[in-house]
Chain A
Amino acid sequence: MTQGSTDRILHSINAVILGKQHAVKLALSCLIARGHLLIEDLPGVGKTTLAHTLATTLGLRFQRVQFTSDMLPADILGVSIYEPEKHQFSFHRGPIFTQLLLADEINRASPRTQSALLEAMEEQQVTIEGESYPLDDPFFVIATQNPTHQIGTFPLPESQLDRFLMRIQIGYPDHQAERALLIGEDRRLMLKQLSAEITPDELLELQQTASKITLSDALIDYVQALLAYTRQTGQFYNGLSPRAGLGLIQAARAWAMISGRDFVIPEDVQAVFPSIVQHRLQAREHLQSADWALEILQQVAIP
């Protein structure tokens, strides 16, 4: 069942998002690995479309919040309002009470609002005035972010970037794909016609299966060699944390499962590695980020 369902999901997303198979597969792996996803790219390359397609094909309830600089935490989490008839406060749930939240342009909001969201992501619940309200399960956040050098942005601090399992870039489509896009149907219409390929329960099942993918000692040796390299090379201010290592393994498992294997091979780790480490490592010298992640892979021999 797993192989068929993930293939179908990928197929329907790729019908909408053209020529971005790798990014789409990464995004799906991220969700199957129970991670939150950060998409960083220029406006107009299909960040929102990707999030929307994912939500629809996975059959998840979807909410979109457009972040602005004057946004307050209550605008996301919800607010308690006094109801005179009942003589009590009642909690009005915010947009965060959904299964997939698209936080659009997260770095336009003030740090206060950003951290309210990120806290909820970490805790899987919202606490307001002493009352805790659990979030849905599954619950995902797909945040999009403009490149930080654009004006009017508050870059996410490193500690909060760490909450996202992956950060991916979409980039411009290639010549062929762009031509097909320009000729083809209106994407918004296509989104409306899109139907769910699986139910949320099936998604939970996929996640279960992914977490049981076989991980050999030899592969753990490889992951450890990668982690050790980032700590010893001296090119970065800090090496990768154990949490990053755990994330790497989770994502590699999901990737292996989507690739139709029930065990992880080094190629799986290599496929997800750049998206896992790029937002966690700070290079000492200003290096082109896409390059150095691949460079690490080239420096570490597979044991």
Chain B
Amino acid sequence: MGKVVKVAGPLVVATGLGQANLSDVVRVGPQRLMGEILSMRGDTASIQVYEETSGLGPGAEVELTGHAMSVELGPGMIGNIYDGIQRPLEEILKQTNSNHLPRGVEVPPIDPETLWEFTPVARAGDRVVEGDVIGTVPETPSVLHKILVPPNLKGTLKSVASAGAYNVRQTVAVLTKEDGTDVELTMGQRWPVRVGRPYKHKYPPTRPLATGQRIVDTFFPVAKGGTAAIPGPFGSGKTVMQHAVAKWSDVDIVVYIGCGERGNEMTDVLREFPQLTDPRTGESLMKRTVLIANTSDMPVAAREASIYTGVTIAEYFRDMGYDVAVIADSTSRWAEALREMSGRLEEMPGEEGYPAYLASRLAQFYERAGAVSCLGSDDRQGSLTAVGAVSPPGGDLSEPVSQGTMRIVKVFWALDAQLAYKRHFPAINWLGSYSLYLDALRPWFDEKLGKQFLQNRERAMSLLQGEASLNEIVQLVGKDALSPADQLTLESARMVREDFLQQNSFVDVDAFSSYDRQAKLLALILDYDRLCRQAIEKGAGAAQLLAIPSREKIGRAKSIPADQYVQAYGEIVQAMEHEIDAVVEKAGEGL
């Protein structure tokens, strides 16, 4: 038991803690506020407290818990909303009967009373190693929760519970270790958040994460197990983009971390996700989502922890052999929390007041992503994809958080305020963004979508690039001075921008676009470009080609319902060929 000697905001200094380990969780004061030991000197510890410390003074007691900051893992997390230190917010709401967050509330993260249908997979007498599946629980219609042998354990199963309903505290198996001691296994386990969960080995990612967003999937894809960053000034649509990825990604589990952002955004997710159906399972999207909400008005220290809490939960599901996406909005707010604590600890500041270890902490977070072979004898493969938003002050990417992030992530979706002003959404700048996964994903694309797909992508990119250069000339001499071919380039690029890249996440048909549909739509636009280019060579005028009725039809092609697009696109191509032929013929007559 220690005593508080100093309180300065979330930083508390206490003495008499000689027994404590670094990073141990402590309970401070009469309200038993949760805190974590950041540094020790002699028996004096600096503690970061995860709750508001107002009213705390010297002399208050500090109680050691003896374990590091950890999360509770097990069935019951899906569909839940937690704060940064994994306290269930819905449950707090029920128990405290207050719309605010009172301090010192202790609610178990996973309801110990709920019963889960356990089906054994392993049998008594089986030799098991860490990561082996003991049994399964259908947690939600879309998630089959696998109960695993916790890491660092192996031996023989002495008994396995029979099928039936158990809560997370009840023993479902007894394991006899090699030294002969018995360990009782429950469906729940704890894991320290700052330590990555172990796996057999990592391998380079090879499959794309389909987000249903055309600019992402076709132009700047992220791989399953990869890392991506979305930097952008305010109002450029970071959050809408993050939500879109959370909604439509073809992963099994989504962990969405609202880190120092708006309360209403989390409410939006909470209200909207249960209404939306996952296009893959037909179930509600909430049935595969875990939310971590530490909004900007909630205590800063817990914001720092929220990222780790989220990624640890994600790793747990990855270990079951699932594809998991962690979406963090926004890592800049997390870095600010880090800066605030560092300032209170009176550490020597690095750039812009951020601590010198900012970049390495960022790297540690993103490195927890990856495609892995999970522990266990059945050779499951799982992946963890990390997508982080960055909120650079003033949109200036030279600041430390953006720079630290750009050095690590492989995909960069550069949001552009100018595009947002034009209501071009998603406002991802096609010239400033990049994806380093294209080569790794090439075999997958070639196999599933045909070689044409990546060629079309390159063609479209070169049109957009061409447009950017031509625009400079247009600024000087006007559009009419361009050759018909260049005019066509401008027009085709415009179609790529408006009819392909722009996507309205508020319109149901358009919010999600399958890979096949994306490939066909892009092919449609490029067919138009190709046919027109041939026609121009035959002497057709650009103005007549641009006026054909099919062009407007292409413009509306994205809003064709999902079950009709294959046929409709075919019809547009046919009509287009006729119309262009007619223009060529007319041009021929004119000569």
Q: Do A and B come from one complex?
A: no
| Chain B residues close to A by CB (< 8 Å) | none
A interface, CB within 8 angstroms of B: none
